[in-house]
Amino acid sequence: MLAMNYRGPRRVRADQKPEPKILHPGDAIVRVTRSCICGSDIHLYQGLVPDTRVGSTFGHEFIGVVEEVGSSVQKLKVGDNVLVPFNIACGECVFCKQELYGNCHESNSQATAVGAIFGYSHTAGGFDGGQAEYVRVPYADVGPTVIPEEMDHDDALLLTDVVPTGYQAAEMGGIKKGDTVVVFGAGPVGIMAARCAWLFGAGRVIVIDREEYRLEFVRNYASCEAYNFEEMDDVVLFLKKQTDWFGADVCIDAVGADASGNLLQTITGKKLMMQAGSATALHWAINSVKKGGIISIVGVYGPTDNLIPIGNVLNKGLTIRANQASVKRLLPRLIEHVLAGRLNPKALITHRFPLEEVAEAYHIFTSKLDNCIKPVLIPPSARN
Ligand SMILES: NC(=O)c1ccc[n+]([C@@H]2O[C@H](COP(=O)([O-])OP(=O)(O)OC[C@H]3O[C@@H](n4cnc5c(N)ncnc54)[C@H](O)[C@@H]3O)[C@@H](O)[C@H]2O)c1
Ligand SMILES: [Zn+2]
Ligand SMILES: [Zn+2]
């Protein structure tokens, strides 16, 4: 089959690889009809995630058709159209029982922190992902969800990650009615977090990024204010001024390890890799939230060390909440929001590439070229 193949930092290509097989009675094989590239894949692509092995296939956002099921699978049948959450979760362990599907203790043998994630390095379990024609889906009775008949498949695709992650970012912010919420990052996740902040009762939503086309997009899509940090001397001061010098009630980090905007962080985090990514957006979030405020982190950082101003967290009495999104927990209510028209995820999709052009797609998305917000990859077997 054709699949994305990681060859080392900033080198990916489409190659022939063996088709996946059922390895466990609970597995399913899904024929992928479309997949996305995510900001999380940029961290892998840049070589920022430990134990990202040459030869692996990325892709944790995909939908497809069930091609084969293992002998114990009960809820899926061959021919079902499914959306597959990016977390691989057993559904049975102590963490899954608490609906912490991103922290499953069984799916990832390195499970001290994260559960397994499709196509996300051996740190996250070493499973191949869905930027391919076929993918093996473990615990097939737990994650995969049949796409409702009336749902557009582009919407279903974004329900595998972007929508739940943006929603959970807002949810973890503990937004109260009238709160001022600042979202760092106007990528797909930040855009969705800004949109969802209103659903939780925000009174004011401000987004910070440096890509003008994304700021323009989020202003319209999420009816919010949006500002370019490259036009400011000091982002924290700007945000304090915007908020009667108190700071925002809630700050959301939807940027993660690839943040720009601070030379020291960029050099130590991205060039020399002395810390697990650049923590610039997190710095700004901690310093521009008000005393007693809440920081919600969905931007991904590698384990283990980061230069973050923990003293300020203590002295300001902040609450920090962070996690990989628990997609399965959120799906029922988000499917409802999408079908009712309260969320319109597919509007984020700006580009479609044949899987053969995966290298070009990574380059355009990572370098923020051609006004790209969310690129979709279409495998050859889905184009007939
Ligand atoms: N927790 C989860 O479950 C989960 C799921 C999906 C994605 N993520 C993470 O969310 C983050 C965003 O994902 P995405 O797909 O939107 O990525 P993206 O790369 O498309 O967007 C990130 C945006 O941040 C902007 N940016 C860079 N430095 C900044 C700074 N200092 N301040 C403000 N903005 C800055 C970039 O210009 C870009 O527009 C990534 O870290 C990704 O790994 C987490
Ligand atoms: Zn993703
Ligand atoms: Zn589990």
The 3-state secondary structure of the chain, one letter per residue: CEEEEEEECCEEEEEECCCCCCCCCCCEEEEEEEEECCHHHHHHHCCCCCCCCCCCCCCCCEEEEEEEECCCCCCCCCCCEEEECCEECCCCCHHHHCCCHHHCCCCCCCCCCCCEECCCCHHHCCCCCCCECEEEECCCCCCCEECCCCCCHHHHHHCCCHHHHHHHHHHHCCCCCCCEEEEECCCHHHHHHHHHHHHCCCCEEEEEECCHHHHHHHHHHCCCEEEEHHHCCCHHHHHHHHCCCCCEEEEEECCCCECCCCHHHHHHHHHCCCCCCECHHHHHHHHHEEEEEEEEECCCCCCCCCCCCHHHHHHHCCEEEECCCCHHHHHHHHHHHHHCCCCCHHHHEEEEEEHHHHHHHHHHHHCCCCCCCEEEEECHHHCC
Asked if pLDDT for residue 217 goes beyond 90, the answer is yes
- Answer yes or no: pTM beyond 0.95: yes
Q: What is the pLDDT of residue 53?
A: 97
In tens, the pLDDT along 345-362 reads 999 999 999 999 999 999
Residue nearest to atom 39 of ligand 1 (CA): 187
Say if ligand 1 is within 6 A of residue 188 CB.
yes
Residue nearest to atom 14 of ligand 1 (CA): 39
Ligand 1 in contact with 371 (CB < 6 A)? no
Averaged pLDDT score across all residues of the chain: 96
Ligand 1 near 210 CB (within 6 A)? yes
Ligand 1 within 6 A of CB of 186: yes
The tens digit of pLDDT for each residue in 174-204 reads: 999 999 999 999 999 999 999 999 999 999 9
pLDDT, one tens digit per residue, over 257-315 is 999 999 999 999 888 888 888 999 999 999 999 999 999 999 998 777 888 889 899 99
pLDDT of residue 303: 72
Q: Could you tell me how far CA 299 lies from the centroid of its own chain?
A: 8
Instruction: Tell me, using a 6 A CB cutoff, whether residue 238 lines ligand 1.
Output: no
- pLDDT at 304 (0 to 100): 72
Ligand nearest to the CA of 301: 1
**CB 209 near ligand 1, within 6 Å:** yes
CA of 40 to the centre of ligand 2 (A): 5
Residues of the chain with pLDDT > 70, as a percent, come to 99
206: CB partners within 8 A, 6+ apart: 180, 181, 182, 183, 224, 225, 226, 227, 239, 242, 248
Confidence grade of residue 144 (pLDDT, cut at 50, 70, 90): very high
Average pLDDT over residues 116-132: 96
Among 26, 61, 55, smallest CA distance to 156 is for 61
Asked if residue 111 has pLDDT above 90, the reply is no
**What spacing in Å lies between the alpha carbon of 324 and ligand 1's midpoint?**
13
**What integer is the mean pLDDT of 369-375?**
98
Pocket test for ligand 1, best of 104, 189, 234, 263 (most atoms within 8 A of CB): 189
Residue 383 CA, ligand 3 centroid: distance in Å: 35
